[in-house]
Amino acid sequence: MILCMIHPLFTYATNDLIITENGGTYTAVIEGFDWGPAVNKVILSLDEPVNSVDWKDFTVFAERKTDCVTLPTDQASGNRRVIHAYVSDAKGTKAIEDKYISLVLAVAPNMPLSSPIQYARNEKCSGNNWIDYKMTISAKSSGKVWNKERDRIIPLIDRFDLSGKYKHKETQSLSYASYVPDSPKEKMPLIIWLHGGGEGGTDPSIPLIANRAANYASDEIQVLLGGAYVLVPQSPTYWMDNGIGGMTTGKENDMYNEALMALIRDYMIKNPNIDQNRIYLGGCSNGGYMTLKLLLLYPDFFAAAFPSALAYQSEYISDKQIESIKHVPIWFVHAKDDSVTVAKNSVVPLYKRLIAAGAKNVHFSFYDHVVDITGFFGGENFHYNGHWSWIYSHANKCQRDYNGMPVKLNGRPVTIMEWIAAQRLSKN
Dump the DSSP string for 263-297. HHHHHHHH-TTEEEEEEEEEEETHHHHHHHHHHHH
Regarding predicted confidence, which is higher, 291 or 13? 291
Residue 79: enclosing H or E segment and its boundaries? strand 77-80
pLDDT classification of 118: cutoffs 50, 70, 90: very high
On whether the pTM is more than 0.75, the answer is yes
pLDDT band at 406 (very low <50, low <70, confident <90, very high): very high
d(CA 329, CA 360): 8
* Burial readout 180-200 (b: 16 or more C-beta within 10 A, e: otherwise): bbeeeeeebbbbbbbbbbbbb
Residue 7 has pLDDT above 90, yes or no: no
Residue-level pLDDT at 426: 76
pLDDT tens figures, 249-279: 999 999 999 999 999 999 999 999 999 999 9
Confidence of residue 240 (pLDDT cuts 50, 70, 90): very high
Q: What is the pLDDT of residue 14?
A: 32
Query: Per mean pLDDT, which range of 4-13, 203-212, 305-314, 347-356 is the poorest?
Result: 4-13
> What is residue 150's three-state secondary structure?
strand
Give the span between the Cα atoms of 174 and 179, in whole angstroms.
17
Judged against a pLDDT cut of 80, whether residue 21 lies above it is answered with no
Q: pLDDT for 140-161, tens place per residue?
A: 999 999 999 999 999 989 999 9
Average pLDDT (219-229) is 96
The average confidence (pLDDT) of the chain is 93
Residue of 395, 388, 30, 372 whose CA lies nearest to 209: 30
- pLDDT at position 19 is 39
Q: What is the rounded average pLDDT of the residues 72-76?
A: 96
**How many Cα atoms sit within 13 Å of 271 on the Cβ side?**
24
Q: Which residues neighbour 106 within 8 Å (Cβ) at sequence distance 6 or greater?
A: 80, 81, 82, 83, 114
| Torsions phi, psi for 218 (to 5 deg) | -70, 155
The one-letter amino acid code at 216 reads: Y
Give me the pLDDT at residue 237, please.
96
Beta-bridge partners for 31: 38
Question: Residue 156's pLDDT is what?
Answer: 87
Is the pLDDT reported for residue 389 higher than 70?
yes
Q: What is the pLDDT, as a whole number, of residue 8?
A: 29
Average pLDDT over residues 372-385: 97
- Least confident range from 9-13, 153-157, 216-220, 286-290: namely 9-13
Task: Report CA 267 to chain centroid distance, whole Å.
Answer: 21
Least confident of 11-15, 110-114, 135-139: 11-15
Cα–Cα dist 130/115, whole Å:
9
Whether 360 shows a pLDDT value over 50: the answer reads yes
Beta strands in 155-228 (DSSP E): 161-168, 172-179, 188-194
What's the pLDDT at 307? 98
The yes-or-no verdict on residue 380 having pLDDT over 70 is yes
Quote the pLDDT of residue 18: 38
**Kind and range of the H or E run holding 354:** helix 347-356
